[in-house]
């Protein structure tokens, strides 16, 4: 009888994961395709649209003040529900975060997109799952949804699964969610791919031969990339705290600092607006990367998100890590693309306090033959300091 019950549960969770993966893949594709279209419009009319960034900031704040409610907590709410501290993710979170992220990108804000995908996947999984499963299964539901949303957008199902399993509580894997999360991630990834959402991947052709010197160099790089990721997370939390203190009125905050942000982005001629995929593409195509690109992208992304604009942090982290890698590579005599790829994954590891997901995203994007290098660099970046994370709701297992 016990085996029969377990078999029924296994089948039920598998079917649920299939549905969530399919729906999350569709939603991620719709969101992602429109975001790419929005980015093209911004790039073509950057000097026309950027001056309106503070005004659209007022619209974003009004939408959240008027309709947000608990949904205004965004990723923090997803974490609280996944950790069992809250019992509800409102459905309106999905349209709110999608529309306001489109607004942010259209008018030049420096932000990412994974936060939207993770939130929509988690909300979708929670809202559908609460009809069939008990509240004790909240963490599993959230992990499945996060994996599906992440995989649908980036089409890296293995990384998405491990990232979702480890991100809620640092040092604790949600192993009970592994199988359904894996199903949901693969289905979401394949659905998005079938519907035409682009995936970034790049084969590294000139990776160095392993030697003892290379081992030591990778340790140093892991340390440097770890510092960068932790700097991003620390700056984000500190900037949010300072702005809340000195600009408690969200409308005044977004109007004044949105104007400052608009001017800074205009001075940079829009190079640091949007996702940062231009910097990623430049890092892996031999185009010019300035020594200051990574720090400008870091600071402007921190300011964009701290002021109150919507989006995510992960794609900017990829851009920061890859452009920093291009800058560091000549000092160590290593191929530019190889170090850029290590930065792409390990800065993400340090800023999110995750370990397995970043290693696998490096492998899924750049090739599994480079697993030892990603493992070593991401390990050190992750271990450097787990106290700082871009996710304020993240817990650390003692």
Pairwise CA distance, residues 211 & 213, whole Å:
5
For 152-191, what is each residue's pLDDT tens digit? 999 999 999 999 999 988 878 888 889 999 999 999 999 9
Question: What DSSP character marks residue 64?
Answer: I
Q: What is the pLDDT of residue 387?
A: 73
- The residues, ordered by sequence, that sit 6+ positions from 379 with a Cβ below 8 Å of its Cβ are 222, 355
- Long-range CB contacts (within 8 A, 24+) of 368-375: 369/207, 370/204, 370/207, 370/338, 370/341, 372/210, 373/207, 373/218, 373/338, 373/342, 374/341, 374/342, 374/345, 374/346
Average pLDDT, the chain: 92
Please give the domain boundaries of the chain with CATH numbers for all domains. 2-194 (1.10.3080.10), 212-396 (1.10.3080.10)
Pairwise CA distance, residues 191 & 120, whole Å:
16
For 256-288, what is each residue's pLDDT tens digit? 999 999 999 999 999 999 999 999 999 999 899
**What average pLDDT does range 19-44 have in this prediction?**
96
Say whether pLDDT at 38 is over 80. yes
166-175, 246-255, 364-373: the lowest-pLDDT one: 166-175
Write down the pTM of the prediction.
Answer: 0.95
**What average pLDDT does range 199-228 have in this prediction?**
92
Q: Which residue has the higher pLDDT, 69 or 346?
A: 346
* Residue 170 β-bridge partners: 396
**What average pLDDT does range 366-386 have in this prediction?**
92
The DSSP result for 307-361, as a single string, is HT----SHHHHHHHHHHHHHHHHHHHT--HHHHHHHHHHHHHHHHHT-SHHHHHH
Q: What is the pLDDT of residue 3?
A: 66
**What average pLDDT does range 144-154 have in this prediction?**
96
**What average pLDDT does range 376-384 have in this prediction?**
94
Q: What is the pLDDT of residue 2?
A: 64
The SS3 assignment for 396 reads: strand
Q: Confidence band (pLDDT; 50, 70, 90) for 1?
A: low
């Amino acid at each position: 009888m016990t085996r029969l019950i377990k078999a029924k549960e296994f089948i039920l969770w598998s079917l649920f994961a299939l549905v969530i993966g399919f729906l999350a893949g569709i939603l991620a594709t719709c969101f992602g395709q429109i975001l790419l279209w929005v980015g093209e419009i911004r790039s073509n009319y950057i000097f026309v649209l950027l001056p309106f960034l503070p005004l659209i900031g007022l619209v974003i704040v009004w939408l959240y003040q008027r309709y947000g409610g608990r949904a205004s907590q965004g990723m923090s709410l997803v974490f609280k529900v996944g950790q069992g501290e809250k019992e509800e993710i409102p459905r309106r979170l999905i349209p709110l975060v999608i529309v306001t992220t489109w607004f942010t990108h259209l008018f030049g804000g420096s932000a990412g997109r994974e936060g939207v995908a993770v939130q929509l996947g988690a909300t979708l999984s929670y809202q559908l799952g609460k009809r069939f499963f008990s509240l004790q299964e909240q963490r599993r539901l959230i992990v499945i949804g996060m994996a599906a949303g992440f995989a649908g957008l980036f089409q890296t199902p293995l990384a998405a699964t491990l990232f979702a399993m480890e991100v809620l509580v640092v040092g604790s894997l949600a192993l009970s969610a592994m199988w359904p999360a894996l199903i949901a991630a693969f289905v979401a990834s394949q659905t998005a791919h079938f519907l035409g959402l682009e995936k970034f991947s790049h084969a590294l052709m000139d990776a160095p031969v392993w030697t003892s010197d290379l081992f030591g160099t990778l340790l140093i790089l892991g340390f440097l990339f770890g510092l960068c990721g932790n700097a991003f997370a620390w700056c984000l939390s500190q900037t949010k705290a300072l702005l809340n203190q000195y600009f408690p009125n969200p409308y005044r905050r977004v109007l004044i600092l949105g104007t400052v942000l608009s001017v800074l982005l205009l001075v940079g001629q829009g190079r640091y607006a949007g996702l940062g995929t231009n910097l990623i593409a430049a890092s892996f195509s031999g185009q010019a990367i300035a020594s200051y690109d990574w720090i400008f992208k870091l600071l402007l992304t921190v300011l964009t998100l701290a002021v109150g604009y919507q989006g995510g942090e992960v794609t900017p982290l990829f851009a920061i890590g890859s452009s920093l890698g291009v800058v560091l590579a000549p000092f160590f005599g290593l191929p530019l693309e190889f170090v850029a790829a290590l930065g792409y994954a390990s800065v993400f590891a340090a800023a999110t306090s995750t370990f397995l997901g970043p290693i696998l995203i490096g492998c899924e994007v750049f090739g599994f033959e480079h697993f030892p290098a990603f493992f070593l660099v991401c390990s050190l970046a992750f271990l450097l300091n787990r106290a700082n994370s871009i996710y304020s709701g993240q817990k650390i297992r003692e």
